[in-house]
Structure 1
Amino acid sequence: MLAFVLLAASADAQPRNVVFILSDDHRYDFFSAHPNAPAFLRTPNMDRMATEGAHLANAFVTTSLCSPSRGSILTGRYAHNHGIVDNTSPIPEGTRFFPQDLQAGGYRTAYVGKWHMGEVDDAPQPGFDRWVSFRGQGAYTDPLLNIDGAQVQHEGYTTDLLTDYAVEFLEAQDGSEPFFLELSHKAVHAEFSPAPRHRGTYADVTIPYPETMWPTERNVLGKPHWVRAQRGSWHGVDFMFHGDLGPGQSGFDNFYRRYTETLLALDESVGRVLETLERLGLAENTLVVYMGDNGFLLGEHGLIDKRNAYEESIRVPMLAWAPGWIEPGTRVEALVRNIDVAPTFLELAGTSTSIDMDGTSFLDLLPGGAEAGGAGREFLYEYYWEYAFPHTPTTFALRGDRYKFIYYHGVWDTEELYDIAADPEERVNLVEALPEVAADMRSRLFDRLSEDDAMRVPMRRGNWNADERLLYD
């Protein structure tokens, strides 16, 4: 890998401002314009971004967990390189985040929302002129926010309050400097809590269960033992959160409804940002990107949550909106990763960086450019075992355009190989049926880990107890 200097693009209509909206636990297919979305779901503002802009239909994270994914977004690096490998790891000394480069290049910068790197630290971070955040996971209602270093107690729903601060920042821009705003939501992180105005919106809908939720022979054959065992654990549909959500099917239905209802305020936040940019005359000079920090399973393979390497866990929604630059209705099929976000924004700004990034820019894809920009983006997936959630093992995977190979470290269990093109629900484990493909991907996986000095598995002291569990989720 080499540090790079990025050149400004030449397109006359290319925007210079950036608004990046990051959500939490939002899976790739849960906005209503997506063909796989639940029929009852309504997200008109996300739909607007897709209709008037671009839908990056194959967006992924390289670690499906809050802190490591956010670290990868802000550094353009894999977790084993930036060092924030779980939700409690401190930020390594000397870490540089790409907004520092934007700031050095003349940008006015702001961070509003969930930071969640360093766990208990909500102090302002380098690279941001404006800072609004909270400790750890925060709360859905009446949050204590750190406003530029001062602790301020608020009343209200956190999604709305964060959006208020984002709008305030946009309204303060006078056009003399380009700006970068990250609006980083807590929503829709478990345990889900809809805004009061949205509670009960979907109370009467019928929940569409995924076919792989049920332990039929077709769905279980070839699955690792740990997956089957996890059905009855904290992150399994048979005993979700150790039974805290209620018995069986009714508990799952309520869980599912709360997830979709919590999405409603998040979608309204997106709408407020777009409307503010239009009202201020900033829309045609601003790129807005919406993304989830990781996916979320809702019954697939008998599981909930994320962490594992299955599609619903690692795949996220990504939408881009820039009137006059992105052609309406653009659909990008190329594979895009969270480590590609930083180089993309830096290229847009024409700003150099000293960060040794693993990602590559996808800027050429946004205005309807050639799909060649997505070539060579097969990526490494990594998740490191956590003391607080021991039912998911350390996981490494390679995910390309067709095949996915998954390897589990520290457990005696089967590997997995899926033909994603032919079997998008990952029902049929081909590790024994296609031994040559599996052997080749296994070899390339370990070659990659070795070449990148990633053959080290982090260990963390375990001090978790039930009263502290939300700090680790």
Structure 2
Amino acid sequence: MILMKEKYNILLIICDQQRRDHLSCYNGGNIPLKTPNIDSIGEKGIRFTNFYCNNPICMPNRSTIFTGQYPSIHGVTTNGRNLSEGTETFAEILRRNGYHTASFGKIHLNYFGAPYGEKYNNPTRSQEFVYEKDYKNLTHRSPYFGLEETKIISGHGTFLGHPDYKKWMIEKLKRNENLQAKLNIKSGSSDKTLERKIKKCFHFIIKECDVEIQVFKHKVPEELYSTNFVKETTIGFLNRFAQGKYKKDNFFCFCSFPDPHAPFTPPGKYFDMYNPEDVPLPETFSDDHHEGIKFFREHFLHSKKTEGTNDKDFPHAKDLTKQEAKKALAAMYGMEKMIDDAVGDILKTLEKLSIAHNTIIIYTTDHGELGGDHRFFFKGPFIYDALIHIPFLMYVPGMSQNSISNSLVSSIDIPETLLEFAGVEIPSYMKGKSMVPIFTDPNVKINPNILIEMDDNYTDQKTRTIVEDEWRMTLSDDFGQLFNLNKDPHEKNNLWDDDEYKDKKLELLLKLCHKMSHNIQHSVQRECDY
């Protein structure tokens, strides 16, 4: 337990499905996208270079962040499985220990799609439904997994919804005459009129879309876009807290952006901000998987439907052109730049309100994005570095500044770290390690290795991955991968069948078995696709 002169507030900023190398602090400034505001968190604190997710899918890894348990233990092994009601989270522990707990944006501890006819049996209700037809079935639990105050948005791109988001858009239009004029709305219009106008904004400008690669131009103004919803509701909360509107002296705030997850829909000026011709492609984009794993080769030739990909929503990898990939990445940049601008406004608000001096700030993502690596996009049971190796920046007032740590850490370590910094006892059921020692000495090693789980119901692929400082090994029923990360950082040369490395493979297999032996396989019932 650490001793504190003053109890910390906690601001956890997370986005959805972001490549680590799309942040300037991780890419050396080698791409057109610049992220100075996000980078500043690491400049004030620590930039972690060996941070991994524990599952490359949204709901499983978000549940891991909240519970400090592996998916095989908390049961959310894929999307479409609700974290069990009554599950204790680190937010609940903070709430019981004097923190006001709040969340603004995407949470995704309940599914946000809807049950599809007879595909899934015994559907339960959700607190996070995205489609209006399902709002009648929304639950209204409070606190919600330990979160006392929530403003939720569900979905991605412009396929978004939730009553919280809908109400916010209507109220914002009522207060903003300039925005009314921009959307050709008469002053004093009814809520139903405003709602109709809003729905029209979400229609695509087809002639300027590239539907094949999920790049969509639309009429949603920047002021009403999801990123601004998350930013403004977060800033509103910080203002209320600074004004003493809450009974508690400290806060935990979960600020969660739905972008840059596909579809790629940057609004307004962000849509054309980056020229596709200026976008570099990943070094492995030319991979044709000719001599590689059969399962990956099949996905390359004819896209498979997996937990992270849909065979009808994107070109098959073999047919994806460089120009298409660049255009998709340019649109992704636009979404990420808007997030960086939003983060900048949030950080300025902390300073303006004089609460930055005792607020821990984290920036991370729930998992990565293949983004053209090995010619694949999105996510799924294709365990490559871009999907599992993610950004993590953390600032703790009065501790290590402008430091770099290459200590192996992962999403499961977040809750224990925050609880220790909050001066709260860590429950024995949590399976991570506190990162607190790293803030005294960034060179400290707290994990000898990292475990990554991935279950795919659509292809029946179940993979388990172990990562060490120099090695990454992935085991599946049908294939194995072994990469020397020092000599082969782009993972071009799979050493699984190389007899020269059979001892290393056996060593890692034994370590993986030991790591998995503590995890009892348990899945909650699946009731939805996502």
Matching residue of 1:336: 409
Identify if the C-alpha distance between structure 1 residues 261 and 187 changes in structure 2 by more than 3 Å, giving closer, same or farther.
Answer: same
Identify if the C-alpha distance between structure 1 residues 142 and 224 changes in structure 2 by more than 3 Å, giving closer, same or farther.
Answer: closer
1:400 to 457, 463, 468: 468
- Greater share of helix: 2
1:259 to 332, 340, 344: 332
Identify if the C-alpha distance between structure 1 residues 190 and 355 changes in structure 2 by more than 3 Å, giving closer, same or farther.
Answer: farther
Identify if the C-alpha distance between structure 1 residues 448 and 321 changes in structure 2 by more than 3 Å, giving closer, same or farther.
Answer: closer
Matching residue of 1:131: 150
Q: Distance in 2 between matches of 1:359 and 1:31?
A: 26
Identify if the C-alpha distance between structure 1 residues 81 and 36 changes in structure 2 by more than 3 Å, giving closer, same or farther.
Answer: farther
1:146 and 2:164 are equivalent in the alignment: yes
1:351 and 2:443 are equivalent in the alignment: no
Matching residue of 1:111: 103
Deviations 1:379-405 (A, max 9, x none): 211111132xx3x83211111111111
Q: Note if contact 1:111-1:132 (Cα within 8 Å) is conserved in structure 2.
A: yes
TM-score, length-normalised on structure 2?
A: 0.76
Identify if the C-alpha distance between structure 1 residues 240 and 417 changes in structure 2 by more than 3 Å, giving closer, same or farther.
Answer: farther
Q: Note if contact 2:32-2:279 (Cα within 8 Å) is conserved in structure 1.
A: no
Which has the greater radius of gyration? 2
Amino acid at match of 2:368: G
Amino acid at match of 2:389: R
Matching residue of 1:248: 321
After the TM superposition, which residues 181-220 of structure 1 pair with which residues of structure 2 at under 5 Å, given as runs?
Answer: 181-203=253-275, 205-215=277-287
Q: Distance in 2 between matches of 1:285 and 1:74?
A: 22
Identify if the C-alpha distance between structure 1 residues 285 and 184 changes in structure 2 by more than 3 Å, giving closer, same or farther.
Answer: same
Matching residue of 2:3: 10
Matching residue of 1:51: 43
After the TM superposition, which residues 56-455 of structure 1 pair with which residues of structure 2 at under 5 Å, given as runs?
Answer: 56-120=48-112, 121=126, 122=128, 123-124=140-141, 125-135=144-154, 137=155, 140=158, 143-146=161-164, 154=170, 156-174=224-242, 177-203=249-275, 205-215=277-287, 221=291, 223-234=292-303, 241-243=313-315, 248-307=321-380, 308-323=382-397, 325-354=398-427, 356-366=429-439, 368-372=440-444, 374-387=445-458, 390=459, 393-409=461-477, 411=478, 414-433=479-498, 434-454=501-521
Amino acid at match of 1:182: F
Q: Distance in 2 between matches of 1:126 and 1:416?
A: 37
- State the percentage of identical aligned residues: 24
Match of 1:100, SS? helix
Amino acid at match of 2:371: L
Identify if the C-alpha distance between structure 1 residues 25 and 126 changes in structure 2 by more than 3 Å, giving closer, same or farther.
Answer: closer
Match of 1:271, SS? helix
Q: Distance in 1 between matches of 2:331 and 2:356?
A: 33
Question: Where in structure 2 are there 5+ consecutive unaligned residues?
Answer: 113-125, 129-139, 171-197, 199-223
Identify if the C-alpha distance between structure 1 residues 15 and 263 changes in structure 2 by more than 3 Å, giving closer, same or farther.
Answer: farther
Q: Note if contact 1:140-1:186 (Cα within 8 Å) is conserved in structure 2.
A: no
Q: Note if contact 1:142-1:157 (Cα within 8 Å) is conserved in structure 2.
A: no
Identify if the C-alpha distance between structure 1 residues 98 and 11 changes in structure 2 by more than 3 Å, giving closer, same or farther.
Answer: closer
Q: Note if contact 2:156-2:262 (Cα within 8 Å) is conserved in structure 1.
A: no
Q: Note if contact 1:20-1:181 (Cα within 8 Å) is conserved in structure 2.
A: yes
Q: Note if contact 1:143-1:158 (Cα within 8 Å) is conserved in structure 2.
A: no
Deviations 1:315-342 (A, max 9, x none): 111112345x144321111011000000
Amino acid at match of 2:517: S
Deviations 1:220-241 (A, max 9, x none): 54x311112212344799x883
Deviations 1:95-127 (A, max 9, x none): 111111101100111011112222132245131
Q: Distance in 2 between matches of 1:450 and 1:44?
A: 42
Q: Distance in 1 between matches of 2:405 and 2:312?
A: 36
Equivalent pairs, count = 439
Shift of 1:52: 2.5
Q: Distance in 2 between matches of 1:161 and 1:193?
A: 15
Q: Distance in 2 between matches of 1:38 and 1:87?
A: 34
Match of 1:243, SS? coil
Question: Where in structure 1 are there 5+ consecutive unaligned residues?
Answer: 1-6, 464-470
Matching residue of 2:136: none
